[in-house]
């Protein structure tokens, strides 16, 4: 998982960067001398997704001949640290694609330009309200939702039918029963759970009516009875009949996806960002064979998954001319037309209702995830929230491999959280 942000250090770095950094193509007073050239960092998949964003950039430049965009692909797993470094020194992009969990932290550090009242936020009312809320910090808007996502239960309909399963499981216990039936009757592994990744474990916590922390009450909750019950259920998904043993190798993600795409495992927990790759798999040459359902619920009778996705944000350290160009660019990239284009090309979920055209909804993957979006839970306005996944993931990996008892591991997580959130009670 990505490392958390040390806000105090970032604020100091920002002060230096604001004094040291300038942007090309403009004079010192922020007035453009001619065409403005802005830099945009894209964190989408460089092979499958970025080319389609580059096509949008060309359309933007054609419609705005006085603005040029330098498009740079930055690997997602490196982007947070690269952005943190660049915005705290030199070389920061004027606009960038930011994971929703980074927005509050970067805004707290003073790195992001407020977008309220700018062209970037002109269509704010058109976006899903919860997604706009995730783009805010202390009442101000610091990002425009570009794409959204959540986790769902993805399953192979043909294998389910072969095992005599007629509907997607609604609880984790039902999923374990189905996994055993799939192994016995279809001859494949029934379920593969991603091990050692805190983000993928959140549905277990939500299913027990809890979270890693109570942000509003300023309380650490990973050691609560509800959380420990959730972690016990999580652990059982690696040992129940028909489930795959925990894989914590460096290539574990690829192993899981390869097995699912080839029809060697019948169900996984995954997000829409993998849809285009899944369609390339031999098991899903017929796209309609991909089943998508809400993640199973826990004993509290609740089903819930984290809301993910990406915003476009504007760097506060750019001069006025570059900010204005970047704001116009953000508006174009998040328009209904642009989102519909990207959805059809990348099978990603738009963030505004008017982008769900008949053509977009014709993609079974998009339609399937759109149906489960109501069960997604927005992240709290807590700058450190994304950083909570690191310790959780590390200790979940130990639990999944039976290297640590759940209670002991969660006590360690709580101790780590107390350091990260000094104002929170354990």
Domain membership flag for residue 241: yes
Domain membership flag for residue 426: no
Phi, psi of 74 (to 5 degrees): -125, 120
65, 346 contact by CB (below 8 A): no
Q: Are residues 222 and 265 in the same domain?
A: yes
Domain membership flag for residue 1: no
Domain membership flag for residue 336: yes
Q: List, as one string, the DSSP characters of 139-173.
A: TEE--EEEEEE--EEEEEHHHHHHTT--S--SBHH
For residue 370, the SS3 value is helix
What phi-psi label fits residue 272: left (phi over 0), alpha (psi between -120 and 50 degrees) or beta? alpha
Q: Are residues 48 and 60 in the same domain?
A: yes
Which residues neighbour 161 within 8 Å (Cβ) at sequence distance 6 or greater? none
For the record, the structure tokens of 139 come out as 């009442």
Tracing tokens 């209904």 back to the chain, one arrives at: 336
Q: Are residues 48 and 142 in the same domain?
A: yes
For residue 268, the SS3 value is strand
130, 133, 181, 126: which is closest to 155 by C-alpha?
A: 181
pLDDT band at 33 (very low <50, low <70, confident <90, very high): low
Q: Are residues 118 and 230 in the same domain?
A: no
pLDDT band at 301 (very low <50, low <70, confident <90, very high): confident
By residue range, what is the domain housing residue 212?
A: 152-306+382-420
pTM of the predicted structure, to 2 decimals = 0.86
Q: Are residues 316 and 251 in the same domain?
A: no
Burial class (CB in 10 A: 0-12, 13-18, 19+), 300: middle
- Total structural domains in the chain? 2
The model's pLDDT over 82-139, given as tens digits with 9 standing for 90+, comes to: 999 999 887 899 999 999 999 999 999 999 999 999 999 999 999 999 999 999 999 9
Domain membership flag for residue 321: yes
Q: Are residues 166 and 188 in the same domain?
A: yes
Assign residue 257 the CATH number of its domain.
Answer: 3.40.190.10
Q: Are residues 275 and 223 in the same domain?
A: yes
Q: Are residues 178 and 262 in the same domain?
A: yes
The model's pLDDT over 123-154, given as tens digits with 9 standing for 90+, comes to: 999 999 999 999 999 999 999 999 999 999 99
Q: Are residues 370 and 386 in the same domain?
A: no
């Amino acid at each position: 998982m990505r490392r958390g942000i040390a806000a105090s250090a970032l604020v100091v770095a920002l002060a230096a960067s604001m004094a040291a950094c300038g942007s090309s193509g403009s004079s010192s007073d922020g007035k453009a001398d001619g065409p403005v050239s802005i830099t945009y960092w894209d964190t989408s998949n460089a092979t499958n997704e970025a080319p389609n964003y580059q096509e949008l950039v060309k359309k933007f430049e054609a419609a705005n001949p006085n603005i040029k965009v330098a498009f740079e692909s930055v690997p997602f797993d490196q982007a947070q640290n690269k952005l943190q470094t660049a915005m705290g020194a030199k070389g920061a992009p004027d606009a960038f694609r930011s994971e929703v969990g980074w927005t509050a932290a970067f805004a707290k550090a003073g790195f992001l330009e407020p977008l309220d009242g700018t062209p970037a936020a002109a269509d704010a009312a058109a976006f899903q309200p919860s997604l706009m809320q995730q783009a805010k910090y202390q009442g101000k808007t610091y990002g425009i939702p570009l794409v959204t996502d959540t986790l769902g239960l993805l399953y192979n309909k043909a294998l389910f039918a072969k095992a005599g399963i007629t509907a997607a499981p609604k609880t984790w216990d039902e999923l374990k029963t189905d996994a055993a039936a799939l192994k016995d009757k279809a001859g494949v592994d029934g379920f593969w759970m991603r091990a050692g990744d805190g983000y993928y474990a959140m549905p277990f916590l939500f299913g027990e009516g809890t979270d890693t922390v109570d942000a509003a009450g300023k309380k650490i909750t990973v050691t609560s009875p509800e959380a420990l019950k959730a972690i016990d259920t999580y652990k059982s998904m690696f040992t129940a009949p028909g489930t795959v043993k925990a894989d914590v190798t460096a290539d574990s993600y690829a192993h899981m996806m390869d097995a699912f795409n080839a029809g060697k495992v019948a169900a996984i927990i995954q997000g829409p960002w993998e849809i285009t790759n899944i369609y390339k798999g031999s098991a899903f040459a017929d796209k309609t064979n991909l089943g998508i359902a809400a993640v199973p619920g826990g004993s509290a009778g609740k089903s819930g998954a984290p809301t993910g996705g990406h915003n476009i944000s504007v760097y506060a350290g750019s001069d006025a001319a570059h900010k204005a160009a970047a704001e116009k660019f953000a508006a174009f990239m998040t328009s209904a037309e642009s989102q519909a284009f990207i959805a059809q090309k990348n099978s990603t979920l738009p963030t505004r209702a008017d982008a769900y055209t008949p053509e977009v909804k014709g993609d079974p993957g998009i339609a399937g995830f759109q149906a489960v979006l109501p069960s997604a839970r927005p992240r709290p306005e807590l700058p450190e929230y994304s950083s909570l996944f690191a310790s959780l993931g590390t200790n979940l990996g130990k639990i999944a491999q039976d290297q640590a008892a759940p209670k002991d591991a969660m006590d360690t997580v709580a101790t780590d959280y107390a350091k990260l959130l000094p104002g929170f009670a354990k």
